[in-house]
Every structure is written in structure tokens, then in C-alpha cells.
A = this chain, B = another copy of it.
Amino acid sequence: MEMAAYTVDALAQLRDRAPLVHNITNFVVMETTANILLAAGASPVMAHCRAEVEEMVALAGALVLNIGTLQEDWVEAMCVAGEKANALGKPVILDPVGAGATTLRTRAVRTIMARCRIAVLRGNASEVLSLVSADVRTKGVDSSLALSDDGVAAVKALALEAGCIVAVSGAEDCITDGGQVYRVANGQPLMTKVTGIGCGLSAITAAFCAVAGPGAGDHLAAATAAFAYYGICGDRAIQTSDKPGTFFPVFLDRLYDTGPETIRAMLKVRAA
């Protein structure tokens, strides 16, 4: 697939259709996630109460489940929302924030993945590799948190086993369905110094999936396009500020004004 043309078209559709993205996400990033979605051209809604998540997801184009600042009762609401999204054919994006750090979070990811069909699992390398065996975990991430070759192989195996796209943020992002692998070299290390930029990418991935087709191939392309667009906005923002406080508002401006020519000129995606 020609990813520059795909990304340009997907972003145009996103801005034209302004899909509603339903987020059940952590308290730290709710505001940032909403602003990231708005700047890109999507419509955010946050709703976590068991009593309304089914109605809300029925109005949405995609669902994000993010397990930061988790509470036990939220897991049930996430599963119910995910099941409803599955029934309605809407893509579900899972962000396993802090998986591997505590039993609560690791179990929550397993529960959600057992009960809901996930379209895209998006996290950083340590979060994603916490979901595979301990041996792979040790070998899968080097000291700079980049994926080693063993790490890429583990991510592919996880995608096949889980039956979903796995999308790993890092120095060079890795997005795979278990067979095809895309690597995205756009993006800046400074993006890890602002809270919510990682979680925001899960939401942007959801917005791209909301305007894509329903198959795994569609989700693979949509996730790759989301990562490329997002990374390009980071690459552009750092030209204005290389410090985290002033970087973030500029990054939102770039989500808002990045257009076709810029994407064609700056996109760095390779099929690996």
C-alpha cells in the first residue's frame, strides 16, 4: 500500500466526517486526549459509567479503552462497552497503560482481551511486551526502549495470538498484524516528556479506524497512517519549540493545520 496517499485520504475523511470517539480513559489524560482529537478534526466524548456506556458507544465511530488510573469497577464498564462496540461492528482500541507494573493492570488487559475483540492494541514497548512471556520481555527491549529484532518477532507473535493489530510506539514505531510489518520513523523523543501524548495517539488511531473499513487490513493501514500523521506533527512542532511546555500547544496547532503536501513531503514509513 502507498502509505502517503492513504494517509492523506484518511485524514481528509476524518476531517470531513468528524467521527465521534468514545474514550474510557484515565483521569490524567482526559483533557489532553479531547484536545488532541478536536485539533485533528474528530469529536471526543468521555463516558465511563456502566449505566451509559452502551448508549454512548452506539453513537460513536470507535471506542478507546485505556487502563491508566484504573479502578476495579471501570473494568466491567470497559468490557460492556467493548462488547457493545463488537456487536455494532465498531473498532475498539486498547491502550494498556502501565501493564506489567501491577497485577490489577495486567489482569485488566487480559480480562478485556478475553471479553472483547480488539482492533488495535497500542502501547510502548515495555507495556506491550509485558503481555508476552518473561523471556521475550527481557530480550525484547534494549536500554533505549527500542524494539530489538527479538522484540519485533514477539510483537508479531502477539498480534497473531491476539488476532489484532499491535502498534508499538518507540524510536521507530512498529505496527503489525502478525504478517506485514510497518515501521514509522516520524516522531520526536520530546513527545515522551509531555503526559498524554502517547495516550492521545491511541485516540487518534481510533479516529482513523472509525473512518476505515472493518477488516484487519483496514485497521493495519489506519493505525500506520495515524502514527505517521501524529509523528509528522511532532516533527513539525519541534521546529518551533524543543522544550516540553511550549512544544505541546504547538503540537496541537500542527495536528490542526497539517495538510496533504506536508504529509507527502515528510512521511517516513517503510514496510519491514
Write the residues of chain A forming the contact surface with B, with a CB cutoff of 8 angstroms: 26-32, 34-35, 38-39, 44-49, 51-52, 55-56, 59, 68-72, 98, 101-105, 193-196, 241, 243-246, 248-257
Contacts and interface: CB of A to CB of B under 8 A. Distances in A.
A46 B31 contact: no
Given A52-B104, A246-B253, A257-B243, A31 B70 contact: no
Contacts of A250: 245-246
Contacts of A27: 27, 30, 46
Contact of A55 (B52, B71, B102, B244): B102
Nearest to A254: B245
Given A49-B104, A51-B104, A101-B56, A35 B245 contact: yes
B45 A34 contact: no
Contact of A31 (B29, B241, B257): B29
A30 to B, nearest CB: 4
Given A193-B38, A249-B246, A250-B246, A26 B46 contact: yes
